[in-house]
Each structure stands twice: as C-alpha cells, then as structure tokens.
Chains A and B, each alone.
Chain A
Amino acid sequence: MLTIAIMGLVFVNLVFLPSIISGVIANFNSQSINYNYGNLVVEPRENNLYITNVADIKQKIDQIPGVTGTSPRFSAGATYYYHGNQISGQVIGFNPRYEQQVTRLHTRLQEGEFLAEGDSESILLGSQLAGNIDERLDKLDSLGGVTTGDFVDVIFSNGVKKSLKVKGIVNTGSFGVDRNGFVTLREINEVYGFTDTATSVLVKISKNGEETQFKKYLMQYGIAEKIRTFQEKGQGFVNDAIRSFEIINAISTMVSLVIAIVVIFIVIFINTINKRRQIGILKAIGLHKAIIVYSYIIQVLIIASCGIFLGLILSSGLVTYLTYNPLIFPGGAVYPVVEVVPVIRSIISLVIVSLVSGFIPSWKIANEPILDAIRGQ
C-alpha cells in the first residue's frame, strides 16, 4: 500500500508542475488576446514611428474573412499626477467601439463606465495605476486611490498637459494593462495633432491559434506594415518565466523518477531476497528464469498501475481545488491546465522506470545458481 501511495504521489508531482506551466501559458495567451494585443498587432514599418492611413488599413483588414474586428491604437508616454503623486507610464488611445470588437477591456470595469466614442476630456485608468488610498494594498507605486469622477493631470510625451476626468477603472489582472491609462483615439490624436494615425492596429480573428496563418493572409491582402502575433509581442518575460518553470519541472521530474526507481527497486529487491529460496526451488523444478522475471514484472506493473490510478485521483482532486482557488501570478490568476500529452508522458515514464527497477533485482535473483538460492548463500 505504501509503495502504491508513493507511486501515486510521484505521479501527482509529474503531472502537477506541467499543468501549472500550461496554466501560465494559457493565462498569458488569454490575457494577451483579451486585454493587450488581440490576436495580431500591425505596427509601423521599420524606421517609422506611426501608421498613417489607418482607415485604409483597417478597411483592408476588415474585409479578410475570419477577421472579426480591428482596433487602431495610439500609445504614448505620459506622466500622471494626482494629489501630489506622480507616476510615469503609458496612455493608450483607441476607438471604444472598435476596441470592444477586439479586446474585452470593457468587461473588466472595476468601477465607472467604459469610454464612449464621443467622449473627450475623459480617461479610463488601470487599477494598478489608480491604486488604493491605503497604499499597503498597492502592489506597485500608484496614484494613491483615484476613483471615478476624480480628475487626474496627464502630461503627454509632447509636453501637452490635460486634466482628464476619470470615467472608470479597469482591472484585468494583467500588470501590463492595469498600469495604463486609456483615452479615446480622437483625444490623443488631438493632443499630438495627428489625424488618421496610430501606433498599432490590433486584429481579432474568429479562431484563436490561427495567428500565423492570418499573418500571411494580412500580407497577401497588401498590409505592408510589420505584423506580429500576440506570442511574438509577449516574448521575453513570459518565455523567461516558462523556461525557468521548465528547468524546475525537469529537476522535479528527475527527482520524482529517481524516487520511483529507488522505491520499486527496494520493494522488489527485498521481495526477491525474502523469496530467494522459493525462487531457487521453482527453478529447480523446471521453471524458466523468464517466468520468474515475468512474475515480478507483472507485480511491478500492478503496483505501477495502482499508483498511477491513485495519482490520477489525487491529481484530479488537486486540479479541482486549484480551479476554485487559483494561484495568483503577476499575470493574473493561473488555473492548472492538465493536458493529455504530459499525463501520457508521466504514465509512460512511470511504467518504464517501474519496469526497469523491477526487472534488475528479479533478473539478478533469477540468474543466481539454483543451489546458492536454495541454500540462501
């Protein structure tokens, strides 16, 4: 029973960390698509700061079958002032109607309302930027508790200063989004004196996962600007985190498998030592070595199967618990995602190490001279 329990826990360990890594990736993907980038981001050509003729580009992209929305954005550096607090960050301008076709920012309002197309002198603040009156609740420096209806002073990167009324606070759970302020595209174009200009165009497609394919479609439809998928945009931070996770996972997997090897080896070794004489006698009466080895292999397979079964039950329990009580990461709440491949890989690796560690002691004892085994020498 103890052996089966250990095998079960080893299995949980083999499955758990990959499920968290998958959860982090899934979280990153959904955060990126839903709040940050959409599926694809069209950016200015090399050596250009802006995309001009945005309306044309938007129209071209909109007619591509499978594209469900496009939202031109204008991002700029800005410094926010509120009650003596000063935070530097980004201000993003978008057309609220178009934005709702691409991202789900409008669904994550902590308070207040989402921007409307005709709004001016209004701003939406990310929850991390707005902050809390009690600064101990803030995870980073903030404006110290801005609420809807307050006015914040914004100095744009071109030096223009505006006092904007906070229309709402958005809380997506993603630091990258919740540190920003959002205004209408018309507002920011006015500040910078541009028309029909953006720093990026977000594109939403009907089916996630087909970004690379759609990147090609966009090029075929004559979009000459730089096109990047949300994964390409998010490279760096998340990839580093995933790489670190994978190193930890590799170490943890190795330790787990070594534990499984040692446990099975010891169990079978002690078993063969205790039954040494019996094995000698069975060989004496004419049982082939292979039969003796097979009998131990079957024993090991039963232990491994029961352990895997127990591990599946424990893993399901753990995953269910974490689904209701997710781990909170900087990118937001991470739910474990159990994928078939890591589970199958864990089952196969446990079965293989069990077979190897069961085979060695049984093969050794089966090859012992019959009389030595019978006499217990």
Chain B
Amino acid sequence: MIQVTDVSRVYQMGLVQVHALRGVWCTINMGEFVGIMGPSGSGKSTLLHILGLLDEPTTGTVTIDGSDVHLLTEDEKTDFRLNKLGYVFQDYALVPELSVQENVILPAMARGIPPDEYLRESEKILYQVGLGHRIHHRQYELSGGEQQRVAIARALINHPKILFADEPCANLDSATSRTILNLFRELNEKYGQTIVMVTHEDWHEEYMCRILYMKDGAIENEKECRLKK
C-alpha cells in the first residue's frame, strides 16, 4: 500500500517559490490501477515523481509497504526503484543502440540476475506484451506503440510491486493508446499489477479502477471508475 501524508513540494525558481504540491493526502492499495488526472500545472507529474522516488517532498511522508521511503539513502532508493518499482515514460526512453531484448534485460542485469534466467524472462514478457516477433529488432524498426510496449516490458522484467506510467499514451494515436491501455488493464486484472498512471485524457478513465483529480497542487476529487474483476 502507498500512503501519502500531507505531502507538499516547493520549487525555487530564481527568487520565486513555486508550490507544485500543497498538502496531498491519498492512499493507493496494492492491485489497484489508479489514474492521476488534472490540468497542466496541477502537480500530477510531481506527485508521480515523488511516489516513484525520483523526487523528494519538501514536507510530508510517503510510505510504501510500511516504510517511509524518503528516509532511505540514495543507494537504498536506487535499489528500491530497481527491485520494487517500474517506470514507463511518455517518450519510451529506450537505449537506441540496444535491441528490444537488450533494452528489456537492462534492469535485470543491474539486479545481478543470471543471464539464462533474464533472457528467458525477457522473452516471456515480450511475448506477453505482443512483441515476441520483435525481440532482436532495434528501436528505429518499431512503431511508437511497439516502443512503448518495449518500455512496459522493461518496467516489468523485475516484477515490480508498483508500475508508474507518466502519460504513456501522450505520443500515440488513439488506436495504439487503446492497445497500451488494454495491456495495462490486462496486467492489472490478470496479474494484480498495481499501476499508477498520469494522464489527461478523459476517455482513459474506463481502464482504471480509480481516478485522483488534481488541481492547484492538491487532490480535489477522486472517483471510482470500474470494479476490478
């Protein structure tokens, strides 16, 4: 479970202080597919970054599985991200010099998993996301949707407890976006994968269990969308 308690984040931009988050409280349960929505500048990406240990709250605490993650040292945070969290970024963020499979196995290699194990696991996951036939291709040979699926496979290779996705469909057309969202829904429903996703497309709601609406750095509203099957 993710417990967010009175989290605020203030950025110093020259002489001006920008309040990106102003006392956010929320809880995300394991196995949920939660969307964070809101207008630009509402603080949704900032919240996702803090939940994903990519940024520090100015005040407040974030607890994941009972541990206050911001008390961890930098190395411990890196290990936490590697072992327990997965990330999908808007622009896929693949390493262009590497093949699909090599991109996917990177986090597993960093964990020190034996090669035969991570190669087997990467093939399994790539088949799962529908890229079994693209294993040895390079980034430039893939469509946007395929690249995003590689990024999802990379995020899943270490079996993370929580998968964070920062506007993963922002660069995709609606048909491809549906493929990605269907994949997320399948991961959530079939494997119980906890997913926290930032989006600003209203029609994405139908794929999520719950939506947190943000405005001016705080959660203004939340809505149950669908019951988990």
Chain A residues with CB under 8 Å of chain B are 277-278, 281-289, 291, 370-371, 374
Contact = CB atoms under 8 A, between A and B. Distances in A.
Contacts of B54: 284, 370-371, 374
Contacts of B82: 285-287
A281 B79 contact: no
Tell which of B78, B82, B89, B106 has the most Cβ of chain A within 10 Å: B78
10 contacts: A277-B93, A281-B87, A282-B106, A285-B155, A286-B78, A286-B79, A288-B110, A291-B110, A371-B55, A374-B89
A284 B95 contact: no
Contacts of B44: none
Contact of A284 (B52, B75, B110, B111): B52
Contacts of A291: 110
B152 to A, nearest CB: 12
B81 A285 contact: yes
Contacts of B110: 286-288, 291
A374 to B, nearest CB: 8
B138 to A, nearest CB: 15
Contacts of B79: 286
B49 interface: yes
Contact of B93 (A278, A287, A288, A371): A278
Nearest to B52: A284
A274 to B, nearest CB: 11
Given A371-B54, A371-B55, A285 B95 contact: no
Contact of B87 (A278, A285, A288, A289): A285
Nearest to A288: B78
Contacts of B87: 281, 284-285
A291 B79 CA distance: 13
Contact of A278 (B78, B83, B95, B158): B95
Nearest to B88: A285
Interface residues of B, number: 23
B62 interface: no
Interface in B81-102: 81-83, 85-87, 89, 93, 95
Interface of B: 49, 52, 54-55, 75, 78-79, 81-83, 85-87, 89, 93, 95, 106-107, 110-111, 154-155, 158
Contacts of B106: 282, 285, 287
Contacts of A284: 52, 54, 81, 87, 89
B62 to A, nearest CB: 16
Contacts of A281: 87, 89, 93
B107 A287 contact: yes
Contacts of A282: 95, 106
B95 A286 contact: no
Given A278-B93, A278-B95, A371-B49, A283 B55 contact: no
A283 B78 contact: yes
A371 B54 CA distance: 7
A121 to B, nearest CB: 86
Contacts of B83: 286
A46 B165 CA distance: 94
A374 B89 CA distance: 10
Q: Which 9 A-B pairs have the closest CB atoms?
A: A286-B82, A281-B93, A286-B81, A287-B110, A370-B54, A285-B107, A288-B78, A285-B87, A284-B87
Nearest to B89: A281
A371 B110 CA distance: 20
A226 to B, nearest CB: 71
B85 A286 contact: yes
A377 to B, nearest CB: 11
Contacts of B154: 285
Contacts of A371: 49, 54-55
Contacts of B81: 284-286
A370 B85 CA distance: 15
A374 B45 CA distance: 13
Nearest to A289: B78
Nearest to A369: B55
A289 B75 CA distance: 9
Contacts of A374: 54, 89
A209 to B, nearest CB: 54
B190 to A, nearest CB: 23
A288 B75 CA distance: 7
